[in-house]
Amino acid sequence: MTKADFEFIRSLAYENTGIVLPERKKHMVYSRLSRRLRQLNLKDFTQYCSFVSNTPDERIHFINALTTNLTAFFREGHHFDYLEQVVIPEWQRKNKKRLRVWSSACSTGEEPYSIAMTLEKHFPISQWDLKILATDLDTNVLEKASIGNYSRDSVTNLPARYLDKYVRHTADNQHIQMRSNIQKMIHFKQLNLLEKWPMNGPFDAIFCRNVLIYFDNETKQKIIAKFRKMLSPQGYLFIGHSETLVNISEEFDLIGQTIYRPLGHGGKKLAKPKFSAHHL
Is 280 a residue whose pLDDT tops 80?
Answer: no
Q: 88 vs 277, which has greater pLDDT?
A: 88
Distance CA 145, CA 138 (A): 11
CA distance linking residue 79 with residue 101, whole number of Å: 14
- pTM attached to this predicted model: 0.83
The torsion angles phi and psi of 69, rounded to 5 degrees, stand at -135, 50
- The yes-or-no verdict on residue 81 having pLDDT over 60 is yes
Are 201 and 230 spatial neighbours (Cβ–Cβ below 8 Å)? yes
Mean pLDDT of all residues in 132-158? 91
Q: What's the pLDDT tens digit per position in 161-208?
A: 888 899 998 888 889 999 998 999 999 999 999 999 999 889 999 999
A 10 A CB-CB count for 19 gives 22
* Residue-by-residue DSSP string for 140-157: HHHHHHHHTEEEGGGGTT
Largest CA distance in the chain: 62
| Low-confidence winner among 109-118, 151-160, 253-262, 265-274 (lowest mean pLDDT) | 265-274
Q: How far apart are the first and last CA of the chain?
A: 49
The residues that are catalytic are 32, 136
Neighbouring C-beta atoms of residue 26, cutoff 10 Å: 16
3-state secondary structure 48-108: HHHHHHHCCCHHHHHHHHHCCCCCCCCCCHHHHHHHHHHHHHHHHHHCCCEEEEEECCCCC
Helices 26-40 and 58-66 cross at an angle (nearest 10°) of 140
The band of 274, judged by pLDDT with boundaries at 50, 70 and 90, is: very low
Q: For residue 265, what pLDDT is reported? A: 67
For 5, the enclosing helix (H) or strand (E) is helix 3-17
Pair 50, 40: CB distance under 8 Å:
no
Per cent of the chain over pLDDT 70 is 93
Confidence at residue 42, expressed as pLDDT on a 0 to 100 scale: 94
Residue 128: pLDDT band (50, 70, 90) is very high
Cα separation of 252 and 254, whole Å?
7
Q: What is the pLDDT of residues 218-249, one digit of tens each?
A: 999 999 999 999 999 999 999 998 899 999 99
* Residue 159, burial from CB neighbour count under 10 angstroms (0-12, 13-18, 19+): middle
- DSSP lists the bridge partners of residue 169 as 176
Split at pLDDT 50, 70, 90, the class of 269 is very low
Number of CB atoms found within 10 A of residue 167's CB:
20
